[in-house]
């Protein structure tokens, strides 16, 4: 018998942590009775409702997607812009992206209905690495790399000041253009573009090539592939290790 929070997470609506909040807020009922006990266990025949709606476990699915430029990473857009769901197969319309890539960026997106995994990979306290190849207009120096590592103050979309950090490793450098491998452990919107702008550079190309230990290998732009069970287990083991290190 699963605990109530794990059962809710298995429905794909949220993570276990968020499920705990729903339970303590009195928004969860089992067989018509509100349950606020976090240690409550669910039996196979029980009917669980969240905010009045019956929820059931679903088969967890995991995909790798090579996002092309020109699409935003959301299901709906009030401005009518194209989203990744315009090019994804209709049967994946209930899959959610693990993190985001802005409209002009390309590269790896993990898609899943596993709310627990999404929380583990995107929660600020977990520090899951994301790797990018970035092309900028100018010569990138060791001093620039040091500044990015030590932190640059940027503004968030809500005009909040935050210190953004990144590891940067030059791949190709010339006076007109540089290609840099950038590794992030944060998740600030448009973080890389804002950091390079503070250094006086414009980002010309930004591609995510890896998230945790999942890569773009074998994918073409716009292509989506199911993640095999072995790879999913490797990812879960990888995340478990990081969670223990951060505990």
The residues that are catalytic are 102
Specify the DSSP class assigned to residue 5.
Answer: H
> Regarding beta strands 48-50 and 33-34, do their DSSP bridges make them parallel or antiparallel, or are they unpaired?
unpaired
Tell me the Ramachandran region of residue 70: left when phi exceeds 0, alpha when psi lies from -120 to 50, beta otherwise. Answer: left
CA separation for the pair 167, 185 (Å, rounded): 9
Residue 180 pairs in a beta bridge with 134, 170
Main-chain phi, psi angles of 90, to 5 degrees: -55, -30
Specify the DSSP class assigned to residue 199.
Answer: T
Residue entry with tokens 């250094």: 199
- CA distance to 93, 99, 208, per residue, from 169 (Å): 36, 23, 15
Residue 154 pairs in a beta bridge with 162
The token duo for 144 is: 């620039």
Instruction: Count CB neighbours of 103 within 10 A.
Output: 14
| Segment holding 9, helix H or strand E | helix 4-9
CA separation for the pair 29, 20 (Å, rounded): 13
């Amino acid at each position: 018998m699963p605990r109530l929070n794990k059962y809710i997470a298995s429905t794909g609506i949220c993570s276990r942590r968020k499920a705990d909040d729903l339970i303590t807020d009195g928004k969860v009922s089992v067989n018509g009775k509100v349950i606020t006990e976090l240690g409550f266990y669910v039996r196979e025949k029980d009917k669980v409702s969240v905010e009045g709606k019956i929820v059931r476990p679903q088969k967890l699915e995991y995909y790798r997607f090579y996002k092309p430029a020109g699409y935003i990473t959301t299901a709906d857009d009030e401005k009518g812009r194209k989203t990744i769901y315009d090019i994804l197969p209709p049967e994946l319309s209930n899959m959610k992206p693990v993190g985001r890539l802005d409209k002009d960026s390309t590269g790896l997106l993990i898609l899943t209905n596993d709310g627990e995994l999404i929380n583990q990979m995107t929660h600020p306290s977990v520090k899951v690495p994301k790797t990018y190849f970035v092309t900028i207009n100018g010569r990138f120096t060791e001093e620039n790399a040091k500044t990015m590592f030590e932190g640059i103050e940027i503004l968030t979309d809500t005009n909040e000041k935050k210190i953004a950090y990144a590891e940067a490793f030059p791949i190709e450098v010339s006076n007109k253009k540089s290609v840099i491998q950038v590794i992030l452990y944060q998740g600030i919107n448009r973080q890389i573009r804002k950091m390079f702008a503070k250094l006086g550079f414009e980002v010309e190309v930004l591609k995510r090539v890896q998230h945790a230990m999942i890569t773009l290998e074998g994918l073409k732009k716009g292509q989506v592939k199911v993640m095999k069970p072995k790879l999913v287990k490797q990812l879960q083991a990888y995340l478990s290790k990081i969670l223990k290190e951060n505990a």
